């Protein structure tokens, strides 16, 4: 059994560029809180072993997703849920004046930044300081 409080500061930065607060991690999955500042465009990635489920808490943004069967761009606003199945390329950005915040659940648990391989996406990423991480592929 786990009980945790919301971390006061980010624990890390995702390989794509979002600020990450670690919320829960278990044998079958993990849960994080992500923040994308206004105007930030994260780097497009594809994961090696995990699928993700997102629930948007606040802000406005867009996510581009592409798999073998389809490609789409989805508006991200409070209350929207999306999935990123294993093998799906994706890129996201904050398009509003406030940060885009969301809960992300990974299945299975995140294994580290080597999980993400960078790919070409529809938008030109802009890099926060110290990004991208050296451990990305």
CATH classification at residue 85: 2.60.120.10
**pLDDT category of residue 131 using cuts at 50, 70 and 90:** low
**pLDDT category of residue 137 using cuts at 50, 70 and 90:** very low
**63 within some domain:** yes
Alpha-carbon torsion (128, 86, 4, 92), positive or negative: positive
CB burial readout 13-40, b (16+ within 10 A) else e? bbbbbbbbbebeeeeebbbbbbbbeeeb
Q: What is the mean pLDDT of residues 86-108?
A: 97
Task: Show the domain range for 88.
Answer: 26-111
**105 within some domain:** yes
User: Tell me, what's the pLDDT at 136?
Assistant: 41
**53 within some domain:** yes
Per residue, the 3-state secondary structure of 33-97, as one string, reads: EEEECCCCECCCEEECCCEEEEEEEECEEEEEEECCCCEEEEEEECCCEEEECCCCEEEEEECCC
Q: What is the mean pLDDT of residues 73-88?
A: 98
User: Tell me, what's the pLDDT at 132?
Assistant: 54
Q: Give the residue among 23, 67, 62, 40 at the shortest CA–CA distance from 129.
A: 40
**130 within some domain:** no
Choice between 135 and 53, residue whose per-residue pLDDT is larger: 53
User: Tell me, what's the pLDDT at 135?
Assistant: 41
**59 within some domain:** yes
Tokens of 130: 């110290």
* Domains identified in the chain, total number: 1
Residue 31 pLDDT greater than 50, yes or no:
yes
Q: Are 126 and 42 in contact (CB under 8 A)?
A: no
User: Tell me, what's the pLDDT at 134?
Assistant: 47
User: Tell me, what's the pLDDT at 133?
Assistant: 54
**136 within some domain:** no
How far apart are the C-alpha atoms of 7 and 21, rounded to whole Å?
6
Global confidence as pTM? 0.91
**98 within some domain:** yes
- Cβ burial of 1 (10 Å; 0-12, 13-18, 19+) is exposed
**pLDDT category of residue 113 using cuts at 50, 70 and 90:** confident
**57 within some domain:** yes
Residue 77 pLDDT greater than 60, yes or no:
yes
């Amino acid at each position: 059994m786990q009980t945790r409080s919301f971390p006061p500061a980010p624990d890390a930065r995702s390989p794509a560029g979002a600020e990450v607060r670690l919320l829960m991690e278990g044998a079958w999955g993990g849960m994080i809180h992500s923040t994308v500042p206004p105007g930030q465009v994260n780097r497009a990635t594809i994961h090696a072993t995990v699928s993700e489920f997102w629930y948007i808490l606040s802000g406005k943004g867009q996510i581009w997703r592409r798999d073998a069967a389809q490609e789409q761009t989805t508006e991200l606003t409070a209350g929207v849920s999306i999935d990123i199945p294993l093998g799906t390329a994706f890129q996201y950005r904050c398009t509003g004046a406030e940060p885009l915040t969301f809960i992300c659940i990974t299945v299975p648990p995140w294994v580290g930044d080597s999980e993400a391989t960078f790919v070409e996406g529809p938008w030109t990423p802009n890099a926060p300081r110290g990004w991208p991480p050296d451990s990305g592929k």
